[in-house]
Amino acid sequence: MYNKESGIKLNEKSRALLKEIATGITSNAAKTINDLREVINYSDWRYYVKDDPALADQEYDRLFEWLKKLEEQHPESVTPDSPTQRVAKGLTKEFPTVDHLVPMLSLDNSYNAEDLSEWDRRCREFVGDRDIEYCIEPKFDGAGISLIYENDLLTRGATRGDGVQGEDITMNLKQIRSIPLSAKFSSLSVHQIEIRGEVLINKNKFKQFNDQRLAENLPPLANPRNAASGSLRMIDPKEVGKRGLEAFLYHMSYLDFQEGKREPEAFETHYGTLNALSQLGFRTPVDIMKVVKGIDKVIDYCKTFENKRDELPYEIDGLVVKVNEYALQDKMGMTTHHPRWAMAYKFKPRQASSKLRKVEFQVGRTGTITPVAKIDPVPLSGVTVSSISMFNEDVIREKDIRVGDTILVERAGDVIPYIVKPLTDLRNGSEKEIVFPKHCPVCGDKLVKEPGESAWRCVNINCEAQVVERLVHFGSKDAMDIRNLGEANVKRFYELKLLRDIPGIYQLDFEKISQLEGFGKKSVDNLRTAIENSKQQPLHRLIFALGIRFVGETTAKTLAKAFHDLMELKNITEEKLLSLEDIGPKVAGAILQFFSNEDNIRMLEKLRSLGINMKNAGNKETASGTLSGLTFLFTGTLPSLKRSEAETLVESKGGKIAGSVSSKLNYLIAGEEAGSKLEKAKRINTVKILNEEEFLQMIKTE
Ligand code: IVH
């Protein structure tokens, strides 16, 4: 069982193990191997299930390496549930089709209070007229999975497939470290069990993943669900491991007890089962689920929860209400499509429809031509959408999008809006095919498309649009953050020949600018200060700002961490680049190409002579940031910062975002309409509660 007490004992164990590792001598290999596994499994649980790390990364790595080494020396001691067995060897050739022990059914859907009341009425017909106890939990928007454990060992993991048969993806699921390779089901007399759940990718990870795709000129994945299900079927398990997937288990579909043993109480209710699974080390919704009596309370809860969906770190598309007692569930049974004892309550879809009026073709900083749909403005989850990127020609052809179409637009949370499909039934024949240009709409050069790529590109690096976009990117918020150097100013300065290249930003003639119409003393001063301040930006921002192909924010951070000085990249080898996290041959090639170009090196030397920081020292945003070791949680609506911005701010300074309010939390930042989290935090003395202003003040001075 996993709990705090075992944590304390394991802390002692890990200290002893680290000491032993320091001496390099193991007297009792069998015992050390056992202890190492116990400590690593416990640490995985704290990190991946509880969001509350127990060991420093380096300590964890040392323990893991030692275990690998001892197992190599004592191959007979390797067990299938050793943490080392998560390490995949080679690629998956195929995912064999497997039968589920019990069909994986779907859920019936409800959309309002009436639907829920009607369902409750039907439930009471089965079980007698009384208030039924219901569990309410999130409806996770990921990819369904099924796990089988036999004699405590994970023996098979599969996708949902068609519900009757799925695909065996055991090795990929082993990469998700919140899924235990073994669990003490035998302590509950269980011989075999099949459990179901959902694999998800959290919103931050999803954003990081899409930023990288955008940097590689790939269309971003539409939503976290697609990212999760795509990740599960990748042929390289190592890649699956890098995606940061999480698994929530929410249903037990099959249970077989050891011979002669009786069913323990834990398995009499849905809540009891999830609680038992939690104690065995699984991630379940037990901490966030609600158990209530009677449908009225269910309805109240469903209504209030919808406003809180954005507070969760992952996407949910509704709630699931389940009859708690298994005895009642059994009375109700199933249809061929869904169980009668469960009901999904779906939130309003974050979709809208609008008319596509025209398509513009934008030239990006690397010359990529992006078709942008201009639509009649339409409100969608908090913003008004009027422009939607369609990424490339293939997307337009695959979806058969035409000018004049009524289109369905979707946007979940912070996800960029995208066109789901045209509503073809509404066509009247006047819709026009979208004609892709053959020449660059800005410089007129012929466009090219490289084999295997879906994007058309203008390869004239002096194309005005590209130069302007490169400059705009350099100064943009996530790059050097030069607030007053937006697109309009860059274009204007470029046309007036006041600004032609990146070093030129630091040599602007403010005298001339102050004579331009619309530029007062204050705006010139602001611009000058913003440019001056940008010289001390951390190295990763400069790397990202350079606009090297395929180098997004994540890769830029990886590079900045690995090198002390940007110029070290001048002599870098491909081998060294490939040894870094998340860098593959394509990205490495682009980096090598950038740093072998003499014009680029001259530009960097110029930037250095102009005083731009190129070193990692003095970088305030590295892992040892000012907030390192502290945990934060945001609740309610903040007056100026978006939730994602506030979280990024914390992470960029080394702080961590907590999953829930607990005694481990250091700061709760509460905005308007902060609800239960604020109440809970008030009850815990050690949690400091701040408003946005106090938070901003604190991170400034920390
Ligand atoms: S219970 C026999 N609980 O939604 C009933 N399903 O639209 C088993 N889902 O196929 C399902 N969150 O993949 C259940 N808390 C939750 C869920 C959940 C998401 C998925 C599941 C199901 C689909 C139906």
Residues 79-117: pLDDT tens digits?
999 999 998 888 888 899 999 999 999 999 999 999 999
Instruction: State the amino acid at position 346 in one-letter form.
Output: K
Mean pLDDT of 304-323: 90
Cα dihedral across residues 506, 508, 509, 512: positive or negative: negative
pLDDT in the model for residue 528: 95
Q: From residue 245, how far is each of 46, 198, 248, 630 by CA, in Å?
A: 16, 10, 10, 24
Instruction: State the amino acid at position 651 in one-letter form.
Output: E
Mean pLDDT of 307-326: 91
pLDDT top residue among 306 and 574? 574
Phi and psi at 49, nearest 5°, equal: -100, -45
CB-CB neighbours of 136 under 10 Å: 20
Report, as residue numbers or ranges, the catalytic residues: 139
The answer to which of 5-9, 370-374, 525-529 has the lowest mean pLDDT is 5-9
Mean pLDDT of 208-236: 86
Dist. CA 233–CA 179, nearest whole Å = 17
Element at 58 (helix H, strand E): helix 57-73
pLDDT in the model for residue 413: 64
Q: How far is the CA of 181 from the centre of ligand 1 (A)?
A: 23
Query: pLDDT tier at 349 (50, 70, 90 boundaries)?
Result: confident
Specify the residue for token string 């513009």.
Answer: 360
- Which structure tokens are listed for 196? 């179901």
pLDDT in the model for residue 621: 41
Dist. CA 572–CA 590, nearest whole Å = 12
Specify the residue for token string 């961590």.
Answer: 656
DSSP output for 122-142: HHHHHH-SSPPEEEEEEEE-S
Q: Collapsing DSSP states into helix, strand and coil, what is residue 664?
A: coil
Nearest to 205 by CA among 425, 415, 420: 415
pLDDT in the model for residue 560: 92
Please list every protein residue whose CB sits less than 6 Å from any atom of ligand 1: 105-107, 137, 139-140, 144, 196, 198, 250-251, 320, 339, 342, 344
The answer to which of 53-67, 492-506, 611-625, 666-680 has the lowest mean pLDDT is 611-625
Nearest to 145 by CA among 182, 117, 112, 104: 104
pLDDT in the model for residue 308: 84
Mean pLDDT of 72-76: 95
pLDDT top residue among 416 and 65? 65
pLDDT in the model for residue 622: 44
Cα dihedral across residues 466, 467, 470, 476: positive or negative: negative
* Residue partners of 97: CB distance under 8 A and separation at least 6: 161, 165, 166, 167, 168
pLDDT in the model for residue 140: 95
- pLDDT, tens only, 590-635: 999 999 999 999 999 999 999 999 998 644 444 456 787 788 999 8
* Most confidently modeled range among 81-95, 213-227, 520-534, 627-641: 520-534
Number of residues that this document lists for the chain: 702
pTM, whole model, 2 decimals? 0.75
Q: How far is the CA of 229 from the centre of ligand 1 (A)?
A: 15
Q: Whose CA is nearest to atom 17 of ligand 1?
A: 139
Q: Whose CA is nearest to atom 21 of ligand 1?
A: 144
Q: To the nearest whole number, what is the mean pLDDT of the chain?
A: 91
pLDDT in the model for residue 618: 43
Burial profile 564-591: b = 16 or more Cβ within 10 angstroms, e = fewer: eebeebeebeeeebeebeebeeebbebb
Percentage of the chain modeled with pLDDT above 90: 68
Dist. CA 8–CA 258, nearest whole Å = 32
Nearest to 199 by CA among 155, 152, 166, 153: 166
CB-CB neighbours of 106 under 10 Å: 15
Distance of CA 89 to the CA centre of its chain: 26
Query: pLDDT tier at 677 (50, 70, 90 boundaries)?
Result: confident
448 pLDDT above the threshold of 50: yes
pLDDT in the model for residue 620: 41
Nearest to 650 by CA among 673, 662, 633: 633
Q: Which of ligand 1's atoms lies nearest the C-alpha of 104?
A: 2
* Residue partners of 144: CB distance under 8 A and separation at least 6: 104, 159, 160, 196, 197, 198
Q: How far is the CA of 201 from the centre of ligand 1 (A)?
A: 16
Query: pLDDT tier at 643 (50, 70, 90 boundaries)?
Result: confident
Beta-bridge mates of residue 463? none
pLDDT in the model for residue 656: 82
55 pLDDT above the threshold of 90: no
Mean pLDDT of 343-358: 94
Q: CA dihedral defined by 488, 494, 497, 499, rounded to 10 degrees? A: 100
304 pLDDT above the threshold of 50: yes
Q: How far is the CA of 143 from the centre of ligand 1 (A)?
A: 10
Percentage of the chain modeled with pLDDT above 70: 98
Phi and psi at 69, nearest 5°, equal: -65, -45
Q: Which of ligand 1's atoms lies nearest the C-alpha of 285?
A: 15
Dist. CA 110–CA 105, nearest whole Å = 16
Ligand 1 pocket: which of 100, 140, 316 to mutate (most atoms within 8 A of CB): 140
CA geometry: angle 616, 621, 627, nearest 5 deg? 140
- pLDDT, tens only, 381-424: 878 999 999 999 999 999 999 999 999 999 876 678 999 999 99
